[in-house]
Amino acid sequence: MEETVRARGHENVSAQHASTFEVTSDDWLTPAGDCILAVDADRTPADFDPAFVRACQDENAHIVATFEVDGSTEVVEGHGHPELTFEGDRSMVGRTSDHTDDRTVMLGAAFAAEGFDREMVEALADGAELTLTLRVDADGDSDTDADADD
């Protein structure tokens, strides 16, 4: 199951945060927002399909966030949790920790904003378009394992 979000970079994108990454529907960004990768998102967690949300609420859910910018791709893997509500109507946050709030879309992320490729970050700081695809596998199997079962 997948959800796709489109957003754009902003001159204040710095991607320096050590424990989170964020995409927001706000059309502005201050330098203090060092976890924010993109602004003006066309969707937020509150817009996601209820079946997708339920799948992410499984503790064994494997969640993959794929960021595409100017032909470059960055993939961040994490997991779900029963306390993920997906009620956030302004932004979505991936976390390396197990903290949850209404914006959280992934826990235990492999890395946060500071781990993103610097060329991608520079492109976002120049206003590049971002496509974020969130994919969830509720049974915890990888795609390879799921394909083998077909």
CATH dotted code for 2-142: 2.60.120.630
- Name, in order, each residue with C-beta under 8 angstroms of 40's C-beta and a sequence gap of 6 or more: 7, 8, 25, 26, 27
What is the 3-state composition of the chain as percent helix, strand, coil, each rounded to the nearest 5?
20, 35, 50
CA atoms within 13 A on the CB side of 145: 7
> Could you state, in order of their start, the residue ranges of all structural domains in the chain?
2-142
pLDDT at residue number 142: 45
Q: What is the mean pLDDT of residues 17-44?
A: 98
Nearest CA-CA partner of 79 in 66, 67, 64: 64
pLDDT at residue number 150: 39
Q: CA-CA distances (angstroms) from residue 60 to 16, 34, 41, 56, 118?
A: 29, 30, 28, 9, 31
DSSP at 114: G
Q: 39 is written with which tokens? A: 């602004």
> What's CA 29's distance to the chain center, in Å?
17
Can you tell me whether residue 69 is helix, strand or coil?
strand
Q: Residue 4: how many CB atoms within 10 A of its CB?
A: 13
Percent of the chain with pLDDT over 90: 91
pTM of the model: 0.91
